[in-house]
Amino acid sequence: MIKIFIAIISLSLLYIANEYLHRKWKVKTYYTRKLVHVMSGIGAIVFSFILDKNEFLLSTAFFVVLFSFLFKLKVLRSVRTEGTIGEILYPIQSHYLTDKVYLFPEY
């Protein structure tokens, strides 16, 4: 269970740092969005080796709920572009692909 908290806190700190870059240093949304894509992708790869299937699915489900809530509040300005829901779709596709990869490891 501690591994899940480490994964969630690590990725949450990434998003907080990204918001700080965007709001305090005025880094453009285009660059902060790209940064968070790369870093969260690396984090997902690393944590997929550390966490078992259920732990990884639980952490991605947590981010789906969290980002859905933050989307409604319009909080994540550093990754948001008008007219998209990418901040919600990214954890959804991570959750979906994790489920499929663990169910069908030959693919």
Domain count within the chain = 1
Chunked in runs of 10, what are the mean pLDDT values of the chain (107 residues)? 92 92 91 90 87 88 89 79 77 84 58
Cβ-based neighbours of 45, under 8 Å, separated by 6 or more: none
Query: Which alpha helices (DSSP H) does the chain contain, by range?
Result: 2-24, 29-50, 53-73, 86-103
Residue 77: give the domain boundaries. Answer: 2-103
pLDDT of residue 107: 43
Instruction: Collapse the DSSP code of 82 into the 3-class scheme (helix H, G, I; strand E, B; otherwise coil) and give the result.
Output: coil
pLDDT of residue 105: 58
